[in-house]
Copies of this chain bind each other. A is one copy, B any other.
Amino acid sequence: MIDSLINFLRLFKNIPQADAEIIESELSFRKVAEDEVLFEEGHICREMFFICKGVLRIVAQNDKGNRMTYFFLKENQFCSILNSFNNNIPSLEGIEAACEAELVVLKKQKLYNLYEKLPYLKELITGITTQSLLEKINVRNSYLGEDAATRYRHFLMRQPDIALRVSLSDIASYLGITQQSLSRIRKNMR
């Protein structure tokens, strides 16, 4: 299972088998159930997850006290709270499983060990995570000034697979509306 991370990295860069073994030795594996909390907001995030299977959500409390879903992450994506992870500051966001999931766990200290042993890894992984930040920004920007139905249609087009796997209430909170509104939107689309 930990292979899936190595295989993913090999899409970008050739990794000798010897290196792969070094990498594997620093990783662990974890299986989580739906709604399981992987990282609780308020703490300093010292883990990065690589998703082999399933969907995670990044959540946070907004001003009104509602729990909102900021992002969904799925197979072959890294998931962490980078601002907290990089800068050792408490996170305002938490990480939860939006459905059953299987993860490779990269502990910060072990990841940094790896960066020392295999310096190219640092560039590789920061490159990938930076790229995924750009995509996140892109999605959120594209929602700017759109009404809820349009945002939902965009979401369906961009992430059709996620739409099928997470709860309606998750999607609603991701789109910034209530469950009922989303259900109504769905009805009107038929």
Contacts and interface: CB of A to CB of B under 8 A. Distances in A.
Interface of A: 60, 62-63, 66, 68, 70, 82-83, 86-87, 126, 130-131, 133-134, 136-138, 140-142, 144-146, 150, 173, 176-177
Given A126-B130, A130-B130, A60 B137 contact: no
A140 B141 contact: yes
B83 A145 contact: no
A82 B126 contact: no
A141 B83 contact: no
Nearest to A153: B63
A145 B82 contact: no
A110 to B, nearest CB: 21
Given A130-B133, A146-B176, 8 more contacts: A70-B141, A70-B144, A82-B130, A137-B137, A140-B140, A140-B141, A144-B176, A145-B176
Given A83-B138, A138-B83, A62 B133 contact: no
A163 to B, nearest CB: 18
20 contacts: A62-B142, A62-B145, A63-B146, A66-B145, A68-B141, A68-B144, A70-B141, A82-B134, A83-B138, A86-B130, A126-B126, A130-B133, A133-B133, A133-B134, A137-B137, A137-B140, A140-B140, A140-B141, A144-B176, A145-B176
